[in-house]
A = this chain, B = another copy of it.
Amino acid sequence: MKITSLSLLFLFVTCIATANDGYKLWLQYFPFENQAVSDYYRDYLENINIVGTSPTIDVIQKELEIAASGFLNNNVKPSFKHSGDSNICWIGKADDLPADLKSNFGQKLNEIGKEGYWLKYHLGRVIITANSDIGLLYGTFAFLKSIQAREQLERLDVLDNPKIERRILNHWDNLNRTVERGYAGFSIWNWHRLPRHIDQQYHDYARANASIGINGTAVTNVNANALVLTPEYLAKARALADVFRPYGIKLYLTARFSSPMEIGGLRTADPLDPEVQEWWKEKTKEIYSYIPDFGGYLVKADSEGQPGPHNYGRTQAEGANVLADAVAPFGGIVMWRAFVYSEKTPDDRHKQAYNEFKPIDGKFRDNVIVQVKNGAIDFQPREPFHPLFGAMPETPLMMEFQITQEYLGHDTHLAFLAPMYEEVLQSDTYAKGKGSTVSKVIDGSLHNYSLTAMAGVANIGTDRNWTGHHFHQANWFAFCKFAWNPNARSEDIAEEWLKLTFTTDKAFTEPIKKMMLSSHEMVVNYMTPLGLHHIMARSHHYGPGPWVTGGGRDDWTATYYHKASEKGVGFDRTATGSNALGQYAPEIQKQWGNLKSVPEKYLLWFHHLPWNYKLSSGNTLWNGIALHYQKGVEESRENIETWTKMSDYVDEERFKHVLSFLQIQSEEAVWWRDACLLYFGQFSKMPLPAGVEKPAYDLGYYMKLNPKFVPGI
């Protein structure tokens, strides 16, 4: 007995000391820290009764083996047909429940949905039940998470159904393995080796996503290449779909609108042309011959150079419906992006998607869902919610969040995005009066949508830890949590992720959770405080660029958005300006249009104000801006201090990795602050307030910086 406990002690030490490259994500299954803990859980990990057989059941068994071998730090395989009556884990569909349980549980069982599960302790047994194999898999992951978090099994009673039907990752991955706006290396999809080589990482990807409820993935860039719809690539896509299927994940592909011309040899892609319609039908039939459960198409049309129905004078609905009619017989859907804006910038870009889509509400087929970014511009560090939410009661809308940090510091900046997602989801659209939150639009309850979905633009690449920054794994995790339940809370997500990924020790989780929860606001502070937006460098979007002006199109510049001059700064989107505000509900117009009630975080998003405008703090606008930048810098330094104290709780490899990224972030926070304050200071002509550090260089220095080979373009 003594030997065993000693050996367990050593094994625990190993787990901290051993190199950890982060590949295992939140599925670390660290060994139990002592014999008592091990004794408490061991039986439920070794004695298991699984009813049923299917590829998904195989995945469940495999996961329980991996978990047991991790927790117990050995390779004893669980028994999967254990017949005991207590201290066992029983896994099976509700229909297969032993008669005594079924009659006991009857009422509650009806609450379990198609993909939901019930995890319940009952008379010495842990019961995981569901109506589908995938529900059982989700329940199994919930069970293992409760062990990772060292929860008491006797208290288990979790009945959880996803609130959104389609929970999807969007990969902006090109066929040559570059990733548009990807900062964690290159694409994990090795199209060249597919379909003949199935990399273990494809399984690990599906497993990680299934563990947090993802059930769909669009593996190709929305700036699409029609080649992916040719037989050569469909065979490759099929190989991925075959890997994903047992994990409950459907494959979607991006469809280039001009495909009928590019790979079909037609002379037009006009959606009203019968030949074009026929081509999509045949092509879709072909896809389903490869992938019988193909999820459907994701389409970016008439935007940033992509072809679309506008080329033929057709509406977005006419474009979408052709593809929708093609997938309908097979149960597929079309996700049609609302990110449409003119190349000619005739109007505030903020307004264009609304103006384009609002009038065609109800004109889409039933199997079309319009995919709307969280804000009307483009994934800025902070945006007010998109005015389309609440404005299309007759057309299902889905949320598109960006997980990859195109505008939030790329790979190296810690920005836990859950608070940003939560802020948007909990925003009130007032579409049906107070309480009409965006989350209710998205989960379909507000307008009784027939389809519900949420998409996240993935931050996954070939980096050994998947996401570049170790903490960006938390953004992948957080997105999935909101996709499962748009009313999830950031704090719970952060805490769960930290426990699963690092340790359950509160001496670590509490300060680091705090660091995570304030990190998004910190980035807003040092990048775009008080509603500033789109002031990053051109093209690669790396670093500040408030001076960006000129070039092909106004709305790809910074000056278009901040409109700084000696008179002031900010974009007047009230009735005296572009009146984008007019696209929101009257309650919001009133609140945000009034300087007394507009939240300061949206101030310069909607208002153009003089530099000496008085903020609620009593500071002038100029001083307020400067102090926000300074605050962001200071917070970034505090994070370094906080993290430095954590070396006892984290393995050396991840500790150092995070530390160097926090240091880069802090240096770049200074870069943002100094460049932006020097630039805006030219107009304000006011001195920096007390407490704001003087820039080390002059404006010319920052304007001349020209970083090469920035990733993600």
- A residues touching B (Cβ–Cβ < 8 Å)? 3-4, 7, 10-11, 13-14, 17-19, 21, 23, 69, 74-76, 175-177, 185-186, 191-193, 196-201, 227, 232, 411-412, 462, 464, 653, 656-657, 660-661, 663-664, 667, 707-711
Contacts and interface: CB of A to CB of B under 8 A. Distances in A.
Contacts of A186: 177, 185-186, 462
Contact of A462 (B14, B175, B185, B199): B185
Nearest to A16: B75
A7 B7 contact: yes
B660 A711 contact: no
Contacts of A19: 200
Contact of A14 (B75, B191, B657): B75
Given A186-B462, A657-B200, A708-B227, A13 B75 contact: yes
Copies in the complex: 2
B10 A197 contact: no
Contacts of A193: 411-412, 664
Contacts of A185: 186, 462
B76 A660 contact: no
Given A3-B4, A709-B192, A14 B74 contact: yes
A103 B411 CA distance: 58
A460 to B, nearest CB: 14
Nearest to A70: B18
Nearest to A197: B660
DSSP majority for the A interface? Answer: loop
Nearest to A196: B664
A104 to B, nearest CB: 39
A657 B199 CA distance: 7
Contacts of A4: 3
Identify the 6 closest CB pairs spanning chains A and B, nearest first. A14-B75, A197-B660, A176-B709, A196-B664, A13-B75, A462-B462
A203 to B, nearest CB: 10
A21 B200 contact: yes
Given A175-B708, A198-B656, 5 more contacts: A11-B74, A177-B186, A192-B711, A197-B657, A201-B464
A243 to B, nearest CB: 12
A14 B19 CA distance: 18
A235 to B, nearest CB: 13
B709 A76 contact: no
A219 to B, nearest CB: 14
Q: Give the interface centre of A13, A75, A412 by most chain B CB atoms within 10 Å.
A: A75
A597 B411 CA distance: 62
A663 B227 CA distance: 25
Contacts of A707: 192
Nearest to A663: B196
Contacts of A199: 657
A200 B653 contact: yes
Contacts of A192: 707, 709-711
Nearest to A712: B192
B75 A191 contact: no
A76 B411 contact: no
B196 A667 contact: yes
A527 to B, nearest CB: 19
Contacts of A18: 69, 75
A14 B200 CA distance: 18
